[in-house]
Amino acid sequence: MSADAGSSSIEDIATIGFQIIAAAKEKPGGINNDDLMAALPDVKPEQRVQALNKLLQEDVLEILKKGQTLIYRLKDPGKKSTAPKDIDNEEKIIYAIIEEGGNKGIWIRDIRVKSNLIMTQLNKVLKQLENKKLIKAVKSVNASKKKVYMLYNLEPDRSITGGAWYQDQDFEAEFVDVLNQQCLRFLRMKKEMAKECRDGPLAVQKMAFCSVADVHKFISELGISKISLDEDDLETILKTVVYDGKAESLPTVEGKYLYKAVEAPLPSPGLVQMPCGICPVIKHCSDFGEVTPKLCSYINEWLD
């Protein structure tokens, strides 16, 4: 928007600005130029443009696009935009849409729907904002070909990057296995140390459990990770140890969990793994007669 800066006094523009604010308050969803012309019939177009520009610069109003129509809406005082003052209106619209996406970002298709810009124009605006280092495109681990946009200074959410377990969209299986083994080693060490306690079985049981913070301290001191791991990362690993049947978890009154290694069950003897071990007619089985290993359908299925 542009207008002759000397066409109206500062007082006149301020008065028109208050009138625009009053009109915008009556329509919380936003007002367009037709609404403003109806609400301010005696105001010249250039004066209205000057007042609108001033309110936009002061972050009193935000500009949106509905279809092909520009909409002006009062801003939430507690939600001020971080958009620079020197970007144009289309850039402000796209910046505001991306800003709403936070650190989870927003897909280009959703930006196009909300902005109603054609794809070529949208790509141009996105490129301009990227070149100004106001936004950035980030690949999602959930879909390698899908990019989301977010403000340049934001750290992407774990749901986008995959957290500590992904490097350049690739799952670090070996790294996870190493952490799994080291967490289990620590749990087993704690359990062995607890056995030396002479204060009774309850004390031994209590000492065998450890918190996520204990495990985090142990892993941090080992120095096996090149990246910083927090307690949430290690709780994820501890849960995999539980799922593997090598540890158990105990909820606490604070809503957290304690973890303890469990004894690995003895492998089943071969006899119970083959059909003969659980066969209901094994007493009648012999080399002769109707029930024989040679004619047994169960053992044939097992061998197959």
Domain ranges of the chain: 1-80, 81-161, 167-261, 270-303
**pLDDT grade, residue 3 (50/70/90)?**
very low
Cα dist from 197 to 194, 202, 206, 259, whole Å: 5, 10, 10, 18
Mean pLDDT across the stretch 54-73?
81
Measure the CA–CA gap between 233 and 286, rounded to whole angstroms: 58
Task: Give the pLDDT score at 164.
Answer: 75
Mean pLDDT across the stretch 128-147?
85
Burial environment of residue 243 by CB neighbours within 10 A (0 to 12, 13 to 18, 19 or more): exposed
Task: Give the pLDDT score at 212.
Answer: 94
Token couple for 206: 């209590």
Q: Is the model's pLDDT at 25 over the cut of 60?
A: yes
Note whether 191 and 208 are within 8 A (CB).
Answer: yes
Mean pLDDT across the stretch 42-69?
83
Note whether 90 and 125 are within 8 A (CB).
Answer: yes
Mean pLDDT across the stretch 244-252?
92
Token couple for 165: 């377990």
Question: Which class is 167-261 in CATH?
Answer: mainly alpha
Measure the CA–CA gap between 147 and 158, rounded to whole angstroms: 15
Q: What angle do CA 27, 29, 34 make, to 5 degrees?
A: 60
Residue type, 282: I
Q: Which residues contact 89 (CB under 8 A, 6 or more apart)?
A: 1, 63, 70
Mean pLDDT across the stretch 276-298?
79
Measure the CA–CA gap between 260 and 130, rounded to whole angstroms: 49
Average pLDDT in the chain: 84
Note whether 64 and 22 are within 8 A (CB).
Answer: no
Measure the CA–CA gap between 182 and 247, rounded to whole angstroms: 13
Backbone angles phi, psi at 168, to 5 degrees: 55, 45
The crossing angle, in degrees rounded to 10, of helices 201-208 and 173-194 is 160
Residue type, 279: C
Cα atoms in the Cβ-side hemisphere of radius 13 Å centred on 36: 24
Q: Which CATH architecture has domain 81-161?
A: Orthogonal Bundle (1.10)
Q: What percent of the chain has pLDDT over 90?
A: 28
Q: Which fold has domain 1-80?
A: Arc Repressor Mutant, subunit A (1.10.10)
